[in-house]
Structure 1
Amino acid sequence: MEKPRQLPLELSHGTGYSRDDLITSPANEEAVALIDRWPDWPSPVVVFAGPPGCGKTHLASIWREETGAVQFNGASIGSGAAKLGAGPVLIDNIDAAPVDEAGLFHLINAVRGAGTQLLITARRFPAAWGITLPDLESRLKAAATVEIHEPDDLLLTGVVTKLFADRQIEVEPHVVQYIVRRIERSLSTAIHVVDRLDRKAMELKTRITRALAAETISALDEGQWDFDI
């Protein structure tokens, strides 16, 4: 049997972070517009906040590719801040671990002094990061914060359609709509559902039908398979 193919898109593999892979909808259009406006930003520091699977990392990766930004780890910012040049900086998923508050404070000052920009992505708004350093709290209040909402039907439909197209799989529109209406509002879930459907269809040597989609989504709902993002 042919070895199941791995999906080279989003979250785990860089090839899924290209501008060609980006689909815009009301859920993310404000953030996309800000990426397109760079470097004409309303503040040197911009925060993209939104739930897991909403596409923050995808947008951040596009911005990094287009700007040549240097990426820092949010838990150890101080170790890299001293090496900051005159270019932009990215910190992805900063609230996944306790924030290096002193490092972030000095980094923001350095970014402002260099006349460049800092893009931060997070699940929550800065007020929920548990910041205790008053000067850093003040700096973050001056940042421009953009909310990225959970994917709407338009975005999920576009993503699922493109995922199948990238695999050269023809799926009827009504099957795509069935998937979109029944999965979690998450791009990562959409990716893994398509991946599982592709594998299952290859194993059974069949087309991807509504029945196969129903079986796959039911297995997901019942916790019969897991994925880690």
Structure 2
Amino acid sequence: MQARQLTLDVTLPDGSDFDAFHAGANGLALDSLRALARGEGERQLYLYGEPGSGKTHLLQAACHEASLWGRRAAYLPAFLLRQGGAHALEGLDQLDLVCLDGISALVGCVETETGLFNLINASRCRDTRLVLADTHAPRALSAALPDLGSRLVWGPVFQLQPLDDAGKRAVLVERARRRGFDLPGEVGEFLLRTCARDLATLMVQLERLEQASLRDQRRVTLPFARAVLGEGG
């Protein structure tokens, strides 16, 4: 019951699929994760990278992909791991795919480390695919439990590389297209020039533009973006 509840309680947002992910230099990680979500290839992956590098998007995309293939999947973000502790992991090995986003929330406590250790072992026995993600590389996590470190690297480890400006512009244009409006190149440049450059912030500003455009029934242009966001974003 615990695993079913977690699967249902975490709603995955629209647009968090593999087609909406701009791979950049992360093509191998994307291909490996897509295969894993379908029940092929690797049985465990570890992704790490700085905030905004795409970890959350990829984990949610893996769950979307698994669902399309009729597979049961659960995505647990860091806040659920912190709140639930070891109990949040109970029964997850009964699923086909488990994605844990921010596993450092489980490190530093013997009880939660033991829960993660047991989940990795049980997943291997039951052929449950497992994806672990964090901002830290596995070797950088100071686990108190002996042998947990070796379990974290039972599969390939990928460091996600952040997108360059061209990649970020492509993501903005594609997200706007999916939301039903055109984003002129000069508006994309304006966002990169005036806002914080991480994708999470850029997406928030894009949504502000979309909402203002719908409210005022106006196209998104550079003068409109300046009026809505100001020169400081």
Relative to structure 1, the CA distance from residue 150 to residue 170 in structure 2 (aligned partners, 3 Å threshold; closer, same or farther) is same
In structure 1, the residue matched to 2:28 is 30
Instruction: Quote the offset at 1:189 in angstroms.
Output: 1.4
Q: Which structure 2 segments of 5+ residues have no match?
A: 1-10, 67-71
Q: Write out the 4+ residue segments of structure 1 that deviate beyond 6 Å after TM superposition.
A: none
In structure 2, the residue matched to 1:94 is 103
Within-5 A mapping of 1:177-192: 177-192=189-204
Relative to structure 1, the CA distance from residue 150 to residue 111 in structure 2 (aligned partners, 3 Å threshold; closer, same or farther) is same
Relative to structure 1, the CA distance from residue 18 to residue 143 in structure 2 (aligned partners, 3 Å threshold; closer, same or farther) is closer
Contact kept? 1:71, 1:91, Cα under 8 Å: yes
Out of 97-106 and 84-93, give the one that drifted further: 84-93
2:180 is paired with a residue whose SS is coil
Percent identical residues: 26
Measured in 2, the distance between the counterparts of 1:115 and 1:200 equals 48
Out of 84-93 and 207-216, give the one that drifted further: 207-216
Q: What's the TM-score, normalizing by structure 1?
A: 0.75
Within-5 A mapping of 1:1-229: 14-26=13-25, 28-38=26-36, 39-41=40-42, 44-67=43-66, 68-72=72-76, 73-75=80-82, 76-82=85-91, 84-85=93-94, 87-95=96-104, 97-99=105-107, 100-201=112-213, 206-214=218-226, 216=229, 218-220=231-233
Q: How far does the alpha carbon of each residue in 1:56-94 deviate from its partner, in whole angstroms, 9 at most, with x for none?
A: 111111211222323455342455334522623221222
Q: How far does the alpha carbon of each residue in 1:133-184 deviate from its partner, in whole angstroms, 9 at most, with x for none?
A: 1211222244421111222223211221123223332332233233235443
Out of 113-122 and 12-21, give the one that drifted further: 12-21
Measured in 1, the distance between the counterparts of 2:175 and 2:164 equals 16
Q: How far does the alpha carbon of each residue in 1:176-199 deviate from its partner, in whole angstroms, 9 at most, with x for none?
A: 233235443322112111122234
Relative to structure 1, the CA distance from residue 35 to residue 13 in structure 2 (aligned partners, 3 Å threshold; closer, same or farther) is closer
Across the two proteins, how many residue pairs are aligned to each other? 206
The structure in which a higher percent of residues are helix is 2
2:46 is paired with a residue whose SS is strand
Contact kept? 1:159, 1:190, Cα under 8 Å: no
Measured in 2, the distance between the counterparts of 1:110 and 1:161 equals 42
Instruction: Quote the offset at 1:113 in angstroms.
Output: 1.7
Contact kept? 1:81, 1:106, Cα under 8 Å: no
Measured in 2, the distance between the counterparts of 1:197 and 1:15 equals 18
Instruction: Quote the offset at 1:106 in angstroms.
Output: 0.6
Contact kept? 1:126, 1:140, Cα under 8 Å: yes
Q: How far does the alpha carbon of each residue in 1:31-54 deviate from its partner, in whole angstroms, 9 at most, with x for none?
A: 21112332211xx33111112222
Q: What's the TM-score, normalizing by structure 2?
A: 0.74
Relative to structure 1, the CA distance from residue 82 to residue 15 in structure 2 (aligned partners, 3 Å threshold; closer, same or farther) is closer
In structure 1, the residue matched to 2:6 is none
Relative to structure 1, the CA distance from residue 177 to residue 83 in structure 2 (aligned partners, 3 Å threshold; closer, same or farther) is closer
Relative to structure 1, the CA distance from residue 151 to residue 86 in structure 2 (aligned partners, 3 Å threshold; closer, same or farther) is same
